[in-house]
Amino acid sequence: MIEYTLSSLLEVAKDAAIKAGSTLIEQQNLARQVHQSEARDVKIIGDILSENIILESLQLHSSFPILSEEAGIIGKINHKNYIWIVDPLDGSLNYSQGIPLCCISIALWKRNKPILGVIFDFDRNELFSGIIGEGAWLNKTAIKTSKTKKKNEAILCTGFPIRTDFSDEGITKFVNQMQEYKKVRLLGSAALSLAYVACGRVHAYMEDNIMLWDVGAGCAIVKAAGGKIQIDNCDNLTTPKIVSASGNNLV
């Protein structure tokens, strides 16, 4: 049986993310083309290009099953063992429009809990990574979550995933939740929002009806950076979640 170390697996995820990010930069004219648009959901060629690179790299260097946004579940899932969780391009619409708020997200989970994560903002060459219990980093610099404790002093990141309730009641509930915070930001990328929580650029993140591939790596990095996370319904990997994260009890 092959023995893995968490540090070696983190390097595998980093290398995969960097390779995919390089392709999304080099082939952006092709990658930005829309190949599927339905209701509020948009899929672009870049999603597939990035995913193919990541899956090939992860499968070459490990034997773990994979949950990826486009391909679904690859391999046999055993909840006692490791599983890679991949969003090959979080913020696809931003990317397709030339808005530089998007990233690649790769996580390793075990027993429905995050173990490590990598988020690569290829536009800024910012590589966020973390191993729970060991630390978190932005490129090679150690990062920590903010010490802000009051909501009225905090910046909250959130968003409107495609499963959002856009009824009057749903929007009113959303607004009521946001009113406690000093400022609110909607970046269009859950993974990048969580990376910003991890390094203290913002203080909290909260989003309903988000998928695990969007937040798998970010939750790992936030926790590795000393923050707190809450995820509902982790037993089912492919159903929507309610996710919150902060340096303190801000959500």
pLDDT at res. 2: 61
Backbone angles phi and psi of 147, in degrees to 5: -95, 5
- Stated pTM of the model: 0.94
Residues 101 and 221 placed together within one structural domain of the fold: no
Residue 73 in any domain: the answer is yes
CA count, 13 A, side-chain hemisphere, 50:
34
Instruction: Among 119, 142, 165, give the residue marking a domain's end.
Output: 142
Contact 32, 96 (CB under 8 A): yes
155-157 and 241-246 beta bridge pairing: unpaired
Residues 132 and 158 placed together within one structural domain of the fold: no
CATH number of 191's domain: 3.40.190.80
CATH number of 56's domain: 3.30.540.10
Per-residue model confidence as pLDDT tens for the chain (251 residues) = 366 899 999 999 999 999 999 999 999 999 999 887 776 777 899 999 999 999 999 999 999 999 999 999 999 887 678 999 999 999 999 999 999 999 999 999 998 899 999 999 999 999 999 999 999 999 999 999 999 999 999 999 998 877 777 788 878 877 888 889 999 999 999 999 999 999 999 999 999 889 999 999 999 999 999 999 999 877 788 888 889 999 888 88
Residue 251 in any domain: the answer is no
Residues 171 and 240 placed together within one structural domain of the fold: yes
The tally of domains found in the chain comes to 2
Closest CA to 27 of 118, 128, 95: 95
Residues 26 and 136 placed together within one structural domain of the fold: yes
pLDDT at res. 71: 93
Residues 233 and 131 placed together within one structural domain of the fold: no
Residues 138 and 156 placed together within one structural domain of the fold: no
Residues 186 and 97 placed together within one structural domain of the fold: no
Residues 134 and 12 placed together within one structural domain of the fold: yes
Instruction: Among 109, 142, 175, give the residue marking a domain's end.
Output: 142
pLDDT at res. 235: 76
Residues 34 and 119 placed together within one structural domain of the fold: yes
Residue 1 in any domain: the answer is no
Residue 50 in any domain: the answer is yes
Extended beta strands in 22-81, E state? 34-38, 41-44, 66-68, 72-74
Residue 71 in any domain: the answer is yes
Per-residue tokens: 127: 């590589």
Q: Which residues 6+ apart lie within 8 Å of 245 measured at CB?
A: 194, 197, 204, 205, 206, 218, 219, 222, 227, 228, 229, 230, 251
Q: Which domain holds residue 126?
A: 6-142
Residues 107 and 167 placed together within one structural domain of the fold: no
pLDDT at res. 157: 95
Instruction: Among 99, 125, 142, give the residue marking a domain's end.
Output: 142
Residues 103 and 222 placed together within one structural domain of the fold: no
Residue 55 in any domain: the answer is yes
Residues 163 and 126 placed together within one structural domain of the fold: no
